[in-house]
Chain A
């Protein structure tokens, strides 16, 4: 005998509503954990990236500092080389100017060039020729000039001219001779 017009259904604890709730929260929790995993991965990635950047930065700093040292040393070398080259050139011009000072009638036999002085040995026909043609320009260059004469066999005079500058500057390198 039937008491109902519908067929009997199986009853379960997991209802359709419960399934919906589970699906909804499963999706939500999955998304939350996905975002969290992404953030954790990025955190690790940033940590690694920061370490790499810092290492590279330190390497670059060291490389820059080394190059700066090299640049400064090369600049120093260039300055010293230029200074020495200038000194050599000035010395060349100074010696050339010194020999140009010697008049035709006077013959030099010896010349000693020192840092602050000059000693000349030579022969002159007369004292006057020496005084006017050599001693005068020498006096304009040097602060102290001493001359001594002694007769030669042919009647000419042998002379020794000793000249000094009192200041501490290098006579030839500073180019005082050029001024005459």
Chain B
């Protein structure tokens, strides 16, 4: 039996077959792998976004913690940052002493690698030990972190008490701030 197909029909079938092969090949070789890649990337971005949100939340909570800590301990932080000023110290504490003199401010070894320390020798006159107790109370509220240190010497001179003692002033060192 002879199948008689006209020339336009052969042309039509050829074009249709060629286009169909192109569509199938393009779909299977390009589009589907790209689609799979898209799905993987979408999941990855979603995961990264979720991680970023976690980081953001942790950052926010850490910032809040830091701010609270700074707010709560403002006095200590400022006191560690202040550079010791002998004149201001004498002025602030002169009410506890009949006379107050600071001498020999010398830098001593670092405390815990984060704090610079300065030793200040102090000579003073007080009317009673109570004045010295009041001074020790006020030192804790002063503009600097000061530790009253030994040796402490009290000597009676008629109605007044001559006293000498050492103070250690702590200042936050820049290296320490960077290190910690």
CA gap between A39 and B33 in the complex, in Å:
11
Q: How large is the interface on B (under 10, 10 to 19, 20 to 34, 35 or more residues)?
A: 35 or more
Q: A53-B49, A71-B66 are in contact. Are A15 and B12 (CB under 8 A)?
A: yes
Q: Are B145 and A81 in contact (CB under 8 A)?
A: yes
A 27-45 to B, binary, CB cutoff 8 A, 1 in contact else 0: 0110010011001101100
A-B complex: 6 closest residue pairs judged by Cβ atoms:
A92-B136, A81-B76, A25-B19, A73-B180, A113-B152, A60-B55
Question: Does B48 reach chain A (CB closer than 8 Å)?
Answer: yes
Query: How far is A112 from B154 in the complex, measured between Cα atoms in Å?
Result: 6
Decide: A50 and B45 in contact? CB cutoff 8 A: yes
Contact of A67 with B23 at beta-carbon distance under 8 Å, contacts A36-B34, A81-B145 already known: no
Q: For chain A, give the interface size range.
A: 35 or more
| Distance between Cα atoms of A17 and B11 in the complex (Å) | 11
A85 touches B140 (CB 8 A): yes
Contacts of B140 in A (CB 8 A): 84-85, 88-89
Return B38 CB to nearest CB of chain A, in Å: 5
Main secondary structure of the interface of B (DSSP, over half): helix
Contact B19 A21 (CB under 8 A): yes
Query: Are the C-beta atoms of B31 and A84 separated by less than 8 Å?
Result: no
Contacts of B27 in A (CB 8 A): 32
B156 interfacial by beta-carbon distance below 8 Å: yes
* A110 B155 Cβ-Cβ under 8 A: yes
A window 39-89: CB within 8 A of B: 39-40, 42-43, 46, 49-50, 53-54, 56-57, 60-61, 63-64, 67-78, 80-81, 84-85, 87-89
Answer whether A64 and B59 are a contact pair too, CB < 8 Å, given A17-B12, A32-B23, A95-B132: yes
The answer to whether A111 touches B154 (Cβ under 8 A) is: yes
